[in-house]
């Protein structure tokens, strides 16, 4: 895979999974509202995908070593991967009860992140399970923090 596409895809997948899970868990803990969680996912899929794509675009430009084509490939790959991966979390939310859907979404997100991390470590010829665990621990930290923040908001502002 071309470096520019891999950059956008890896950033978009990782950000799409961790940001969407954090938002979903926090909104669920704070509101217990399916419509609010759906709105949050759609917001992440649109606004944050554009934001991340622009961030990658500017980051790649600032390195001053990529062609205009490479910069735009990274930008578009970031947007599309973030947008698509974020939207995949809508499926369980729409089809299942909210509590179950959030659990299924966490499993789905860990699966995506774990497989990608394993493949990345394999390509780099480093300890696969170390990389997988590092990335999953960061996701767990984000999920725990947003869960407790949502609970706190629910108890303080209701």
Task: State pLDDT tens for residues 71-113.
Answer: 999 999 999 999 999 999 999 999 999 999 999 999 999 999 9
Contact 82, 49 (CB under 8 A): yes
Domain ranges, residue 30: 3-156
Mean pLDDT, to the nearest integer, of 127-133? 96
Using one digit for the tens of pLDDT, what is the confidence trace for 32-64? 999 999 999 999 999 999 999 999 999 999 999
* Residue linked to tokens 């909210």: 98
Distance set, CA 41 to CA 19, 26, 44, 68, 72 (Å): 9, 12, 5, 31, 25
pLDDT > 90? residue 29: yes
Predicted TM-score (pTM) of the model is 0.94
User: What per-residue confidence (pLDDT) applies to 1?
Assistant: 84
Residue 158 confidence (pLDDT):
80
Say yes or no to pLDDT of 151 above 90.
yes
147, exposed or middle or buried, with CB in 10 Å at 0-12, 13-18, 19+?
Answer: middle
Number of domain units in the chain: 1
């Amino acid at each position: 895979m071309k470096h520019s596409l891999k950059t956008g895809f890896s950033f978009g997948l990782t950000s799409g999974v961790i940001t969407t899970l954090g938002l979903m868990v926090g909104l669920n803990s704070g509101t217990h509202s399916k419509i609010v969680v759906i709105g949050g996912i759609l917001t992440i899929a649109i606004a944050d995908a554009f934001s991340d794509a622009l961030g990658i675009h500017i980051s790649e430009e600032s390195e001053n070593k990529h062609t205009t084509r490479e910069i735009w490939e990274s930008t578009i790959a970031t947007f599309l991967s973030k947008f698509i991966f974020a939207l995949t979390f809508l499926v369980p939310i729409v089809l299942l009860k909210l509590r179950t859907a959030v659990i299924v979404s966490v499993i789905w997100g860990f699966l995506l992140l774990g497989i990608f991390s394993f493949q990345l470590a394999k390509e780099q010829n480093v300890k696969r399970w170390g990389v997988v665990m590092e990335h999953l621990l960061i996701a767990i930290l984000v999920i725990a923090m947003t869960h407790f923040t949502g609970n706190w908001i629910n108890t303080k502002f209701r």
